[in-house]
Amino acid sequence: MPAKVPPGAVTGLGVDLAEVARVRRLAANPRFLKKVFTPVELAYAGKSANRFERLAARFAVKEAVIKALDAKSLPLNSIEVENTDSGRPQVRVKGRPRARLLVSISHTADYTVAAVIAFA
């Protein structure tokens, strides 16, 4: 029987690095966009001249979430990344309303990196 995890304890960590040029190439396929991103994320990225940096950042977050939750079967488009009014990214996972996640994103014109901490 697994030990009970105390509230607030870290239960997972995920980090991912994404190449902006790779996401730009993949985004030429509408099926990729639909499979990976939510309409909210596509609208957010579409408002910027840095569209592919924003998409790559969200892609990296999604991969990091899967690692932090140890959930390889989780569909990428069930993970949604939004920004708070202050600009801080936050994540919601469809079907996992109790998932508690902290996320940080950084990017250059060429690469994005995301780190996600899951906690009880």
Band of residue 5 on the pLDDT scale cut at 50, 70, 90: confident
pLDDT tens, residue by residue, 8-25: 899 999 999 999 999 999
d(CA 30, CA 39): 12
Q: Are strands 100-107 and 111-119 parallel, antiparallel or unpaired?
A: antiparallel
- CA 82/CA 110 separation, integer angstroms: 21
- C-alpha distances in Å from residue 98, one per residue of 5, 44, 62, 119: 14, 25, 17, 10
Domains of the chain and CATH, by start: 10-119 (3.90.470.20)
Distance CA 94, CA 81 (A): 11
What digits encode the pLDDT tens for the residues 55-88? 999 999 999 999 999 999 999 999 999 999 999 9
Residue 1: which pLDDT band, with cuts at 50, 70 and 90?
low
Q: What are phi and psi of 12, to 5 degrees?
A: -170, 155
Query: Residue 3's pLDDT band (boundaries 50, 70, 90)?
Result: confident
- Residue 23's pLDDT is 98
H helical segments located in 27-103: 30-36, 39-46, 51-69
